[in-house]
Chains A and B, each alone.
Chain A
Amino acid sequence: MIKSVLTAVCKKILFILLISSLVVTSSFVSFSLSINNQVDATVVVTEDTPKWIQEIAVFFTQTGELELPFKPYNWMTRGEFIRLALKIYPTEVPEDLIKLEEQARKYDLLLKEPFNPGEFISREEAVTLTLRVANRRILAKLMKLSEADKLLSIFQDINNIDVTTYKSLAVAVKEGIVTGYPDKTLKPKAILTQAEVWALFYRIRGPITFLHFNDSHGRLEPFVPGTGLPAIGGFGRLLTLIKSERTVNPTQTLLFDLGDTLHGTNLVNLFNGKPVIESLNRFGITAATLGNHDFNYGQKPLLNNMMEANYPFLLSNVVYETNRLPLANPYMILDVMGQKIGIFGLITSELPIVTHPDNVKGLLVLDPIDTARRMVTLLREHKVSSIVLLSHLGYSEDVKLAERVDGINLILGGHSHTILEKPALVKSTLIAQAGEHTRNLGRVDMVIRKNQIVHSSGKLIPTVNGIAVDSVVTDLLKPYVDAVKIQMDRVIGSSTVLLDGGRPQIRSRETNLGNLVADVMRITTRSDIALQNGGGIRASIPAGPMKVDHVFTVLPFDNYLVVLELTGAMIKEALELSVSRFPAELGGFLQVSGLSFVFDSRLAVNSRVIEITFAGKPLEMTKTYRVATNDFLAVGGDGYTVFTKGKLVVHTGEFLRDSFIKYMEEVKTVSPVIEGRITVRP
Chain B
Amino acid sequence: MEGNRIVVFVEDCEVPLFRGMEVKHALIAYNMNIYQEALEGKLKVVDEWGNEVGLSGAISDGNRFYIKGR
Q: Separation in Å of the B1 CB from the closest CB of chain A?
A: 10
Once the chains bind, are A635 and B56 in contact (CB under 8 Å)?
A: no
Q: Which of B3, B25, B26, B60 contacts A394 (CB 8 A)?
A: B60
Residue A672 lies at the interface, judged by CB distance under 8 Å to chain B: no
Residue A418 lies at the interface, judged by CB distance under 8 Å to chain B: yes
Q: Separation in Å of the A161 CB from the closest CB of chain B?
A: 52
Query: Given the known A-B contacts A229-B41, A635-B28, are A418 and B47 also in contact in the complex, defined by CB atoms under 8 Å?
Result: yes
Query: Given the known A-B contacts A226-B40, A396-B63, are A634 and B18 also in contact in the complex, defined by CB atoms under 8 Å?
Result: yes
Q: Which of A331-384 contact B (CB under 8 A)?
A: 348, 350, 353-354
CB-nearest residue of chain B relative to A645?
A: B16
Residue A124 lies at the interface, judged by CB distance under 8 Å to chain B: no
Q: Separation in Å of the B49 CB from the closest CB of chain A?
A: 7
Chain B residues lying within 8 Å of A597, measured Cβ to Cβ, are none
Once the chains bind, are A350 and B53 in contact (CB under 8 Å)?
A: no
B interface residues, how many (CB within 8 angstroms): 33
Chain B residues lying within 8 Å of A436, measured Cβ to Cβ, are 54, 56-57
Residue B33 lies at the interface, judged by CB distance under 8 Å to chain A: no
Bound CA span A436–B51, Å: 13
Interface, chain B (partner A; CB < 8 A)? 2-5, 16-21, 23, 25-26, 28-29, 32, 40-41, 47-49, 51-60, 62-63
A interface residues, how many (CB within 8 angstroms): 43
Residue A206 lies at the interface, judged by CB distance under 8 Å to chain B: no
Residue A225 lies at the interface, judged by CB distance under 8 Å to chain B: yes
Query: Given the known A-B contacts A348-B58, A415-B57, A646-B3, are A631 and B21 also in contact in the complex, defined by CB atoms under 8 Å?
Result: yes
Q: Which of A605-636 contact B (CB under 8 A)?
A: 631-632, 634-636
Among B21, B23, B49, chain A packs the most CB atoms within 10 A around the CB of B21
Residue A215 lies at the interface, judged by CB distance under 8 Å to chain B: yes
Chain B residues lying within 8 Å of A394, measured Cβ to Cβ, are 57-60
Bound CA span A565–B51, Å: 35
Q: Separation in Å of the B6 CB from the closest CB of chain A?
A: 10
Once the chains bind, are B4 and A647 in contact (CB under 8 Å)?
A: yes
Once the chains bind, are A396 and B16 in contact (CB under 8 Å)?
A: no
Once the chains bind, are A417 and B56 in contact (CB under 8 Å)?
A: yes
Q: Which of A215, A350, A635 contacts B29 (CB 8 A)?
A: A635
Chain B residues lying within 8 Å of A215, measured Cβ to Cβ, are 54, 56-57
Q: Which of B18, B41, B62 contacts A648 (CB 8 A)?
A: B18
- Name 14 extra pairs, CB < 8 A, besides A634-B18, A647-B2: A350-B20, A394-B60, A415-B57, A415-B58, A417-B57, A418-B57, A419-B51, A419-B53, A437-B54, A635-B21, A635-B25, A637-B28, A644-B16, A644-B18
Q: Separation in Å of the B69 CB from the closest CB of chain A?
A: 14
Bound CA span A315–B16, Å: 31
Report A502-522 CB contacts with B as 1/0, cut-off 8 Å.
000000000000000000000
Once the chains bind, are B56 and A217 in contact (CB under 8 Å)?
A: yes
Residue A420 lies at the interface, judged by CB distance under 8 Å to chain B: yes
Q: Separation in Å of the B7 CB from the closest CB of chain A?
A: 10
Residue A435 lies at the interface, judged by CB distance under 8 Å to chain B: yes
Q: Which of A636-682 contact B (CB under 8 A)?
A: 636-638, 641, 644-649, 651
